[in-house]
Amino acid sequence: MNNPNSNFYLPNQPEYDKEFWNYIRGVEHSEGYLESGKRRTAGYVLPSVNDNRFMEALKKESLFRNIGTYVYSHEGASQILAKHSDASASWIPDGGEIPAYDGMLDFTEFSMEDHKLAAVLKMDANFLSDRPHIFSSFFIGRMARAFGKAENDGFINGTGLDMPTGILSENGAAIGLTASSLSFDSVIELYFSVDKDHRERSAWLMNDDTALALRLLKDDAGNYIWNHSNDTILGKPVYINNCMPSAAPGAKPIAFGDFSFYWIVERDPLSVRVLKEKFIESGQIGYMGYEFLDGKLIRPDAVKVLQINSEVSA
């Protein structure tokens, strides 16, 4: 058996998995086996098999991990270069000159930072001892919901200060148009405000209230703008997330475009620190989870938003 004072297991080893969950349940001396998984937060990364399960669960909760572009980079804050190339292949006659495109002339440099996202969960100590066989799944699900909810809010509304730059921030998506209300015409105008190249993989983003309003919109001939048979608008899918605002003066209730240009750069995977003493009087154990990541729309014109005129009520 390993001596916790001199040896440790790696996160991809079955022994690390065993000792990690012993640590989570408060078993004495298990922490010494986990040094290889220790992070700057003094917490420990999930065992590899559980980290995969957590990421799968997080994708179900965090919308932009599905519609955006995810990158893992452990180097810390860094610069990335991004360019949407307008170059294309050409048909060339035999012996003809092949046109060359110098793609290094107009790359845009983006700074991707190292923002900390944290959550504290409390669980009853009796639950840990009475139901150890279901605890890991329950724990991973709770963490995924907590972080997924916070990520949705950050990727939509984040200011860029100690958090991601959300699509609705001043430095996020471009304003496609300003309208006095949600109308059939304003939705169509927003659609065509996005360049046709970006419309090929585009989608709509809104909350429940806005979705209800658009479901009821009709043109003068009585035709709905919302296709009720497949939940699309003008042939493009609709994503619902209630971190988006409702229609109100100054609000941006609808975003439309190619969300793959929203990049999520993760610096550290989820790590967990046990807080055994903090909640002992209530018979609970606390768990502090951490992520380090950033998010940014690297091509602001790829997604456009509809903004309600601040001087007119919706």
Residue 199's contacts (CB-CB under 8 Å, 6 or more residues apart) are 191, 236, 257, 258
Residue 92 lies in a domain: no
Residues 201 and 253 in one domain: yes
Q: What is the pLDDT of residues 24-70, one digit of tens each?
A: 888 888 888 999 999 888 899 999 999 999 999 999 999 999 999 99
Residue 224 lies in a domain: yes
Residue 246's contacts (CB-CB under 8 Å, 6 or more residues apart) are 207, 209, 210, 253, 314
What φ, ψ does residue 216 adopt, rounded to 5°? -95, -10
1 within 8 A of 31, measured Cβ to Cβ? no
State residue 312's pLDDT score. 47
Residues 117 and 43 in one domain: yes
Higher pLDDT, 13 or 313: 13
The range of the structural domain enclosing residue 47 comes to 14-74+112-163+264-296
Residues 248 and 275 in one domain: no
Residues 273 and 147 in one domain: yes
117 within 8 A of 148, measured Cβ to Cβ? no
Q: What is the pLDDT of residues 210-255, one digit of tens each?
A: 999 999 999 999 999 999 999 999 999 999 999 999 999 999 999 9
Residues 188 and 155 in one domain: no
State residue 147's pLDDT score. 97
- Which residue reads 């009709």 in tokens? 218
State residue 208's pLDDT score. 98
Instruction: With both helix axes pointing from N to C terminus, report the angle between 48-61 and 14-24 in degrees, rounded to the nearest 10.
Output: 60
Residue 89 lies in a domain: no
Residue 183 has pLDDT above 60, yes or no: yes
Q: For residue 251, what is the domain's CATH number?
A: 3.30.2320.10
Q: For residue 26, what is the domain's CATH number?
A: 3.30.2400
Higher pLDDT, 13 or 108: 13
Residue 219 lies in a domain: yes
Domains in the chain, number: 2
How far apart are alpha carbons 146 and 155 in whole angstroms? 15
Residues 252 and 271 in one domain: no
Q: What is the pLDDT of residues 74-92, one digit of tens each?
A: 766 666 666 555 556 778 8
Whole-prediction pTM: 0.87
Residues 67 and 182 in one domain: no
